[in-house]
A and B are shown apart, each in its own frame.
Chain A
C-alpha cells in the first residue's frame, strides 16, 4: 500500500511544507472531495480525536470550513472565540491554550492577529497546530485550497502564470500563495499600489507591477485580494474609490483582454472595490465558489494527515 506522511508535525505556513507534502495533501484532498459529494458526507477516521478551534480574530468562511472538515472526519470539536473568553480578563495565550489542552485536546486550529503566534505555540505545547491565519504572515490552508483549485481547473500548476492583485503588504493569503505556488512550479506576479507592495518582495522569486492591465494580460489566473483596512494603521491609498478605479478588476477590463482567464478571490469580497460583481459572478471566469468547496476537502486532508503523523 502506498504510504503518505507529512514531513512536519504542524501546519504553520506553506513556507515550511515540502513539495511532496503539498502533493500528498492534494492527493488526499482528491479523495475527501469525493467523500463530501456523497449522499452521506462523513468518514469515521478522526472519531477519537478532539480538535479545538481557537479564533482570536473574526472569521466566517475559514471557521465554518474547518468546523465542517472536522465534523466530516467525525472529530469532536470545541469552539472558542476571543470575544467571549477569559482573554478579556487578562489571561495569556499560553495559559489559555494549556488550560484547553488539560481537557485532553489533540489538535488546535488557531487564528490569531499576531504573526508567529502558531509558531510560538507549537514550541510550547504538545498538540498539533494548524495555522488558520496569523496576522499579516501566513494562511496556509487558504493557499493550499487556491493552488488545489487551480490544479483542478487547469490540470497542473507547473508554468501556470498567477497574478496576485491587491493589498499585498497586509495579506497573509498573498504570502502563503507565493510560497506554495513557487514550490509547485508556477510563476507569480504581484500587482498593487506602490504603498501596499512590500519592499524586496522580488527576492522571493516573484515579479511585481503596479499596472493591473499588464498583470491580467500576463497571467492565466488572477487571485484578487481585498484591501485590509482593519490592518492599515495609516492611509496607504488616497481613497477606496481611487483604488477601485486604478486596481479594480472590472468586466470591461476582463473583456478587453481577449483571452481566457481564471478569476479567484479568497473572500470576503468587497464588490465594486477590488472586483466588479459581474466578474465575481461570471461562470466563464470565476471559480470563487469552487474555492470554498475545495476548502473543506483541503482542510479535511490537512487534519487527517496531521492526526496520523507520528511524533
Chain B
C-alpha cells in the first residue's frame, strides 16, 4: 500500500487527544456512573490513550472500561465481500443507567456505531450514550448518526480511506489519508 498523505501527527496529534480528554472532563466531571467503551479492534488504542490521559489529569477518577466487539451485530453479515473474524468483548459490568462514551477511531458510514448501539443494549439500558471518534468523515454517512466529540473532520471522496496509526502498534502516532483503498 502506498504510504498515504499524513494529515495529522506530532504535537497536533497529542493536542487533539488532550482536547478530547478535556472536553470529556468538562461534561463528565468526576466520571461518576460513566463508562468508556472502545469498539474492537481499531477503537481500542484510542480508548486506552484517553483512559490513560484522564487518569493522569484526575488521579482520583473512577470509570468502567470495556471493549465491545460488534462483529455479530453487523447488518452487513453475509453481504460483505469477505468474512470478518470476531474479537473479544470484555464488559464486566452492566451499563444499566450508566452514561456510556463509545469510542472508535473513524466514524464513516455509521453502520459500525449502529451495530455497537444494538450490542450495547445486551448489557442493559444505558442512561445516555455519546460517541467520540478521532476522525469524522462527515459526508459519507449511510445512517443518521453523529459524533459528540470529534478529533478531526475529514472531507473526502467515498473511495478514499483514512487510517489512524499508533506509536504502540505502527511506530508513530499519525493519521493518513489514502486516495484509494487497495
Contact = CB atoms under 8 A, between A and B. Distances in A.
Interface of A: 1-5, 24, 27-28, 30-31, 34-35, 38-40, 42-46, 48-49, 73, 304-305, 307-310
A159 B77 CA distance: 37
Contact of B69 (A31, A73, A304, A310): A31
B92 to A, nearest CB: 10
B118 A44 contact: yes
A244 to B, nearest CB: 44
Nearest to B91: A38
A74 to B, nearest CB: 9
B83 A308 contact: yes
Nearest to B70: A43
B26 to A, nearest CB: 33
Interface string B89-123: 10000100000000000000000000000110111
A42 B122 CA distance: 8
B84 interface: yes
Given A39-B94, A40-B121, A73-B72, 15 more contacts: A2-B87, A5-B83, A30-B88, A31-B88, A31-B89, A35-B72, A38-B122, A38-B123, A39-B123, A39-B124, A43-B72, A45-B72, A45-B74, A45-B77, A307-B78
Contact of B83 (A4, A34, A48): A4
A interface SS class: loop
A2 B77 contact: no
B82 A5 contact: yes
A67 B118 CA distance: 23
A87 to B, nearest CB: 32
B85 interface: yes
B interface SS class: loop
A308 B85 CA distance: 10
A31 B86 contact: yes
Interface of B: 41, 69, 71-74, 77-78, 82-89, 94, 118-119, 121-124
Nearest to B40: A1
Nearest to A304: B72
A44 B123 contact: no
Nearest to A46: B77
B129 to A, nearest CB: 17
Contacts of B83: 3-5, 305, 308-310
Contacts of A3: 82-85
Contacts of B94: 39
A48 B75 CA distance: 10
A4 B71 CA distance: 12
B89 A34 contact: yes
A310 B78 CA distance: 8
A44 B78 contact: no
A47 B73 CA distance: 10
Nearest to A30: B88
Given A34-B89, A39-B124, A42-B122, A2 B84 contact: yes
Sorted nearest first, the 3 A-B pairs with minimum C-beta distance are: A4-B85, A43-B72, A40-B122
Contacts of B121: 40
A48 B76 CA distance: 11
